[in-house]
Every structure is written in structure tokens, then in C-alpha cells.
Structure 1
Amino acid sequence: MIKAVLFDLDGTLLNRNESVLHFAERQYNRIIKKTSDISKETYISRFITLDEKGYVWKDKVYQQLVEEFHLAGITWQGLLQDYIEEFPYSCVPFSHLNEMLAQLSSAGLRLGIISNGYGRFQQSNIESLGIKHFFDAILISEWEGLRKPDPAIFLRALQRLEVNPEESLFIGDHPRNDIEAARNVGMLGVWKENSDWSSAGMDYIVKDLAEIPMLIKKLNQDM
């Protein structure tokens, strides 16, 4: 029986693409247009390209932007601090997030998050989504000293939830860091569909978070 469900954050619970787009537009309106004549579209497009879907931390992104666009009156450090402080106000959840978590919680399942990233930043994003109270364990790589796909961070999360790997499933959007890594420790892996990656080799796929409670019900019936 499935007793616990663990989630990735970015691209799984948090619609990161929409959140980044929203943030970059707000940052342009608040800061960039006052110090530069570059267009909003140019700034947003370059920001998203340099960000590389979150795999490049913003210190490097902002250093590049300041250099390329010859931004005056603002430093890359100032832009980075703005990102850290303001991004949580731009967080966009995927549809049916709260309803799905409420259903799983009501069913008695233990819930967890395993996320790569900086601790306080990711914690702020979770709080912004209004979902922190649903989770029994939240592991963020900076605070744990471990990163996905390291098996140790999955095993640590399972230990905190007091469940065995075969009693749990992991839901994420990254084929290697999430699905393959979860499988490697004996968990079931459920892929949250993401157009950036191929679905090849995925045993279980959900397009919408609303599908998850029914999938778990079916898995428990088949076990």
C-alpha cells in the first residue's frame, strides 16, 4: 500500500515557467525600465535564456545581464537581492494544487517535498504557495547537504516520514533527478509531464495534479 507521497517543487507543484515570466516582467517594470532603454521583451527573453530553466543561479544571470545591457545605476548584487526578496510574490501554482494535497492529506497519506536549491529561497516559495501545512517533511538540498539525484536525500526523506521505499512514490518532472533517482531507491516514480523532457521510459505519467489521487487509489487496488 502507498503510505507516503513525495514531490519535487519546481516544475511539479510550482509552475516555474509562468512564475519566472511573471517575476521578470515585474522586475523590468520596477527597476530595469528606470535605468535602461532596452525593451521589456528583450529583457525578459534574455533573462529566461540565461536562467536555463533554473539550473543557473541568478548571480551568474545578473552579472551577464548587467554586462550585456550596460545597465547603469544598479548592480548585479542588487538585482540578485531583488530576485531573492521578490520572487515569492510571483509564484504561480499548477492547477488543482491545493485540492490535490487536501485530498491526499485527508486520505491519511504522509506528504513530503524534496527540492534542490537554496533553503530560505525555496522555503519562501513553498510558503507563498500556501501549502507548507500539508507536509510532514520538507528537504531542501542546501540545508540537507545533499542534492537529487543522490539516493541519500531520498532515503533521508523516507526515514523522516517513517515509511519504506516500496510504500511510497515520488512525483517530479525531471526524468533523471526525480524519476530515475526515486526508482533507484525502490520508490515508484510518477512523471509530471513537462514538454522540456521526453516521456520515454516513464511507467506512470500525470498531466494534471488532479489525476494524482485517482492514480494512487488505482495503485493501491492493484497491489
Structure 2
Amino acid sequence: MIRAVIFDLDGTLLDRDRSLEAFINEQHSRLAEHLQHIPRDQFAKRFIELDAKGYVWKDRVYQQLIEEFEIKGIDWQNLLEDYVANFRAHCIPFPNLLSMLEDLAGKSIRLGMITNGRGQFQLDNILALGIKGYFEEILISEWAGMSKPDPAIFQKALATLGVSPDEAVYIGDHPQNDIQAAQAIGMKAIWKKDPHWSCMGADGEIDDLNEIGRLVEHFNTEELKARLQ
């Protein structure tokens, strides 16, 4: 029976695409003294390309932007500091985030989170979403000293939550780091659909977070039927 649900953050609970776009547009306006010579749409488009869905840290992104757009009067370190300080103010959750967490918590499902990224930066985003209190375990790769898809980070979360792999489901948007990695240690895995990826072989797929409770109930019903056969 499923006793725990563990989540990815970016692209699963946090609508990172919309959040990033909102931040970029605001940064472009706020730092117009240095960036106004670049059309906003062009600046945003190139930032998103270089960011590569968050898999490239922003030091490299800003260094490349400065070179390509000949940005003057501000260095990449200051742009990076601005990103770290202000991204949190633009965090946008996916719809039904809080109601989904309330629903699972109300069913005595234990909740955890595993996310790759910089420790304080990711924690600030979690706090901005107002969801930290729902989770018994939050593992951020920088602070954990390991990252997805390393099975050890999934095993650590399971141990803290006090459940075995077959009693937990992982929900994420990345086919390898989330879905395949969780399944590799015996967890069920639900893919939060993302148009940037294709994913085959997940135990379930969702478009909306409010579908999670139904899928967990389905997994438990199927297991109960199998036991009774």
C-alpha cells in the first residue's frame, strides 16, 4: 500500500517556466540602465535557451549573455546575485498545489521532496510557495551531498519517512532523473507531463496535480485486489 508520496520541485510543484519568464521580464525592466538596448523578448528567449530547463547554473548563463549582447556597466556576478536574491519573488505554483497537499495529508500520506539544486536557493523557493510545512523530509542535492538520479538520495528519503520502496510513489517531470531513477529502486513513479520531454514506462501520468490522489487510490486498490486473488 502507498504510505508516502515524494515529489520533485521544479517542473512538478513549481511552474518553473512561468516563474522564470516572470523573473526575466522583471529583471530586464528593473536593470534597464544596463539591459534596455536588448529587446525584452530577445533577452528572455536567449536566457531561457541558455538556462536549458535549469540544468545550467546562471553564472554561465549571465557570462554568455554579457558576451552576446555586449552588456556594459554590470558584471555577471552582480546579475547572478540579483537572480539569487529575487527569483523567489516570482515563484508560481502549478494549479491545485495546496489543495493536493491538503488532500494527501488528510489521508495520512507521508510527504517528502527530493530536488536537485543549490540549497538555500531551492529552500527559498519552497518557502515562497508556502509548502515547507507539509513535508516531513526535504532533500536538496547540494546540502544532501548527492543528487538525482543517484539511488542513495531516494533511499535516504525513504528511510527518513519510514517506508519501503514499494510503499512509496515519486512524482517528477524528468524521464531519467525522476521516473527511471525512482523505479530503479522499486518505487512507483508518476510523470508530471512536460512538453519538453517524452516519457515512456511511467506507472502513471498527470497533467494536473489534483489527479495525484486518484492515482494513489488506484495503486492501493489494485494492490488490494491482487492480494485477494
Give the corresponding residue for 1:78. Answer: 78
| Mapped partners of 1:49, 1:133: distance in 2 | 34
Instruction: Confirm or deny that 1:6 pairs with 2:23.
Output: no
Could you list the runs of 5+ residues in structure 1 that have no partner in the other structure? Answer: none
Instruction: Confirm or deny that 1:126 pairs with 2:126.
Output: yes
Give the corresponding residue for 1:35. Answer: 34
| Mapped partners of 1:203, 1:153: distance in 2 | 20
Instruction: Confirm or deny that 1:157 pairs with 2:157.
Output: yes
The amino acid of 1:106's aligned partner reads: G
Give the corresponding residue for 1:222. Answer: 222
Give the corresponding residue for 2:19. Answer: 19
Give the corresponding residue for 2:208. Answer: 208
String of CA shifts for 1:139-176, please: whole Å, max 9, x gaps.
00000110100000000000111111100000000010
| Mapped partners of 2:176, 2:67: distance in 1 | 34
| Mapped partners of 2:170, 2:33: distance in 1 | 44
Q: Shift in Å at residue 220 of structure 1?
A: 1.0
Q: How does 1:52-131 map to 2 (within 5 A)?
A: 52-131=52-131
Q: Shift in Å at residue 134 of structure 1?
A: 0.4
Q: How does 1:122-201 map to 2 (within 5 A)?
A: 122-201=122-201
| Mapped partners of 1:185, 1:39: distance in 2 | 47
Q: Shift in Å at residue 17 of structure 1?
A: 0.6
Q: Shift in Å at residue 70 of structure 1?
A: 1.3
String of CA shifts for 1:81-116, please: whole Å, max 9, x gaps.
000000000111000000000100111011000000
How many correspondences in the alignment? Answer: 222
SS in 1 for 2:11: coil
| TM norm structure 2 | 0.95
SS in 1 for 2:46: helix
| Mapped partners of 1:90, 1:184: distance in 2 | 34
| Mapped partners of 1:109, 1:142: distance in 2 | 27
The amino acid of 2:33's aligned partner reads: K
The amino acid of 1:147's aligned partner reads: S
| Mapped partners of 1:41, 1:198: distance in 2 | 27
SS in 2 for 1:146: coil
% identity of equivalent residues: 51
| Mapped partners of 1:126, 1:118: distance in 2 | 12
SS in 2 for 1:171: strand
The amino acid of 2:181's aligned partner reads: A
SS in 2 for 1:169: strand
Could you list the runs of 5+ residues in structure 2 that have no partner in the other structure? Answer: 224-229
| Mapped partners of 2:173, 2:34: distance in 1 | 37
| Mapped partners of 1:178, 1:48: distance in 2 | 22
SS in 1 for 2:18: helix
Runs of 4+ in 1 over 6 A off after TM superposition: none
The amino acid of 2:117's aligned partner reads: G
| Mapped partners of 1:216, 1:201: distance in 2 | 17
Give the corresponding residue for 1:47. Answer: 47
| TM norm structure 1 | 0.98
Give the corresponding residue for 2:227. Answer: none
Q: CA RMSD in A?
A: 0.8
Q: Shift in Å at residue 137 of structure 1?
A: 0.2
| Mapped partners of 1:123, 1:186: distance in 2 | 28
The amino acid of 1:18's aligned partner reads: R
